[in-house]
Amino acid sequence: MFIKTCTYRYCLKDFETKISKQKYCCIRHKNQESYQMKNDDYQYEIILQKARLDNIKILEGLLDLEVYRISAIELTKMGFNFKAAIVPDINDKKQEVFRYGYIYLIAISTTEFKINIVTDK
């Protein structure tokens, strides 16, 4: 017999089992933890989605002020969330290009960005 601790976040009780790999005290707790993990992922997606929209608003505000070049520090001070970035493209100058709505943020160095409006070719 093994003494294990149930992995379900709202249980965490010790239980006895003959199966060394068993993580949950019962099938119900296994299912509930699985549901909770999916819900965590969903909540995280919502937070990221909101951060992305906030990022777009910040970049739109900068374009309104005709700011086309900005440092990462200034962006962070304005509440820009770099964690909400999508996977960047690489342009022909080997710079990382992040797209936020109709705006491109191009990494011209490790600390500075250029802001461009997406134009269809």
The residues that touch Zn ion, with contacts defined as CB under 5 A, are 6, 8, 11, 25, 29
| Cβ nearer to Zn ion, comparing 5 with 109 | 5
Helices assigned H by DSSP within the chain: 27-64, 72-77
Minimum distance of Zn ion from residue 43's CB (angstroms): 22
Which H or E run includes 115?
A: strand 112-117
| Cβ nearer to Zn ion, comparing 6 with 84 | 6
Q: Which long-range contacts (CB under 8 A, 24 or more apart) does 35-42 make?
A: 36/9
| Cβ nearer to Zn ion, comparing 25 with 84 | 25
Minimum distance of Zn ion from residue 28's CB (angstroms): 8
C-alpha separations of 45 from 49, 52, 55, 59, 93 in Å? 6, 10, 15, 21, 32
| Cβ nearer to Zn ion, comparing 25 with 106 | 25
The answer to whether 16 and 2 are in contact (CB under 8 A) is yes
